[in-house]
Amino acid sequence: MPLVPLLIYLGLCLLVGLRGTRTRIGFWGTFFLSILITPVIMYLALVLLNPPPVAVQASNAQGGGTQ
């Protein structure tokens, strides 16, 4: 098995894992799911399923945030 494509794939999984650090499943969950599913699909899921930052700020302003 060629080493370079494997390293690129794991690097993309690492980047997706970093993107998912502030999600419910955290870095490791996002990292392992991106290995199982593919980093591209997992990244799209992160982008599409996370609420926009404006909605999060509005929720915190109304007292819906954690303290």
Domain housing 7: 3-61
Residue 31 inside a domain? The answer is yes
Domain count for the chain, please give it: 1
Task: Please give the pLDDT value at position 42.
Answer: 92
Residue 56 inside a domain? The answer is yes
| Whole-angstrom distance, CA of residue 3 vs CA of residue 40 | 20
Residue 66 inside a domain? The answer is no
Confidence of residue 61 (pLDDT cuts 50, 70, 90): low
Task: Please give the pLDDT value at position 55.
Answer: 59
- Which 8-state DSSP code applies to residue 2? -
pTM of the model: 0.70
Decide if 51 contacts 60 (C-beta within 8 A): no
Q: Residue ranges of the alpha helices (H) in the chain?
A: 3-19, 26-37, 39-49, 53-61
Residue 67 inside a domain? The answer is no
Alpha carbons within 13 angstroms on the beta-carbon side of residue 43 total: 10
pLDDT at 65 over 60: no
Residue 24 inside a domain? The answer is yes
Mean of the pLDDT values across residues 28-35?
93
